């Protein structure tokens, strides 16, 4: 009993000492919360796509449902039916179900325009009579649509990630969990990638296992039977930690190889979802190592993502 009392007294003293220590000195500043954003997406009768992303600078108030407000930044991306990309970038002037947006070009505010929203879509984009939407990136005109239709994300009820050892020593190799279903890039966008592009996807859903090293890549391949032919990896994202229930935006980088022409392989481009355990380069050096190994046969189901929604929400080139 004496020893137990002595232990309790020492434990209380330690707690008090820690509390006093935490109150003094130069305690580190807490990290700021991540930015919050809202994305609205629609298309017109001609098939042009409009993506409006509004972002709030990091603040001390994280909201589960983000509501745009005056002073926020916006990017309106226009993707034409032939894949041309133009942008209008600026500030939100007034907010509500109808947003007034002011383009900023070369540091100077241009003529505002309005966007009416509903849920995650736009129902109208209007400008003053005789005016056009100022384009701040790209050379072209953002068409003002007579009407807009909500763009529905691609949804997959159950996506399985399978055990996948790949490559061999001397050529680069590794182990990951990779999607069992082919995701054709052309189902998500008409934009043919160019070397150096940064393409942003939004994914939502739930997973039955945490994905701690998740990435989205773009490859091209042809399939005969169960064999992938002419496989080329064109680039991918950084690795993200995906929780059980997720709503993430992931930026995928395309290699800046100006000698490559994507137009000839557009119909054979695919998205690749992978949870990487480890990988090595051609010299046998680890480029990523989680410390985990598969230890299961190729093709074993490692995780299932339910109600996965995928949509392209931005592109920079």
The series of mean pLDDT values per 10 residues for the chain, 317 residues long, is 36 39 42 61 92 72 62 92 91 90 94 93 91 90 90 88 92 94 88 92 94 96 76 93 92 90 90 96 94 96 96 88
Q: Are 112 and 131 in contact (CB under 8 A)?
A: no
- Distance, in Å, from the CA atom of 130 to the CA atom of 144, rounded to the nearest integer, reads 12
> Per the confidence metrics, is the pTM higher than 0.85?
no
**Rounded to whole angstroms, what are the CA distances from 258 to 163, 195, 196, 252, 262?**
34, 6, 8, 17, 10
pLDDT of residue 310: 92
Residue 88 burial by Cβ neighbours in a 10 Å radius (0-12, 13-18, 19+): buried
Q: Are 298 and 163 in contact (CB under 8 A)?
A: yes
Residue 142 burial by Cβ neighbours in a 10 Å radius (0-12, 13-18, 19+): buried
Nearest to 99 by CA among 40, 34, 35, 36: 40
- Distance, in Å, from the CA atom of 174 to the CA atom of 172, rounded to the nearest integer, reads 7
pLDDT of residue 140: 85
In the block, tokens 């773009």 appear at 218
Q: Are 224 and 284 in contact (CB under 8 A)?
A: no
Enter the tokens of residue 29.
């500043």
**Rounded to whole angstroms, what are the CA distances from 197 to 2, 83, 202, 240, 252?**
70, 13, 16, 19, 8
pLDDT of residue 57: 56
- Distance, in Å, from the CA atom of 178 to the CA atom of 220, rounded to the nearest integer, reads 15
**DSSP per-residue codes, 151-204:** -PPEEEEEEEEEEEEEE-TTS-EEEEEEESS-EEGGGT-SPPP-TT-EEEEEEE
């Amino acid at each position: 009993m004496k020893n137990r009392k002595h232990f309790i007294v020492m434990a209380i003293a330690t707690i008090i000492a820690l509390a006093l220590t935490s109150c003094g000195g130069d305690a580190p500043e807490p990290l700021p919360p991540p930015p919050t954003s809202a994305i609205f997406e629609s298309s017109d009768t001609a098939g042009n796509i409009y993506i409006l992303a509004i972002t709030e600078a990091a603040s001390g108030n994280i909201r589960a449902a983000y509501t745009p407000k005056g002073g926020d930044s916006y990017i309106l991306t226009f993707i034409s039916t032939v894949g041309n990309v133009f942008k209008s970038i600026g500030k939100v002037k007034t907010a509500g179900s109808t947003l007034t947006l002011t383009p900023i070009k070369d540091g100077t505010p241009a003529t505002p325009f309005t966007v009416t929203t509903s849920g995650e879509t736009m129902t109208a984009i209007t400008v003053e009579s005789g005016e056009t939407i100022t384009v701040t990136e790209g050379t072209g005109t953002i068409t003002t649509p007579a009407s807009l239709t909500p763009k529905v994300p691609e949804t997959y009820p159950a996506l399985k990630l399978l055990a996948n050892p790949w490559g061999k020593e001397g050529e680069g190799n590794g182990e990951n969990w990779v999607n069992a279903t082919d995701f054709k890039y052309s189902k998500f966008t008409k934009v043919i990638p160019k070397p150096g592009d940064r393409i942003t996807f939004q994914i939502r859903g739930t997973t039955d296992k945490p994905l701690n090293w998740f990435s989205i890549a773009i490859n091209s391949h042809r399939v005969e039977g169960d064999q992938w032919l002419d496989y080329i990896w064109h680039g991918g994202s950084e690795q993200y930690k995906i929780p059980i229930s997720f709503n993430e935006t992931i930026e995928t980088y395309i290699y800046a190889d100006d000698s490559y022409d994507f137009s000839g392989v557009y119909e054979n481009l695919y998205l690749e979802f992978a949870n990487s355990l480890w990988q090595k380069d051609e010299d046998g050096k680890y480029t990523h190592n989680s410390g985990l190994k598969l230890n299961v046969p190729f093709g074993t189901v490692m995780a299932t993502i339910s109600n996965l929604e995928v949509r392209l929400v931005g592109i920079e080139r």
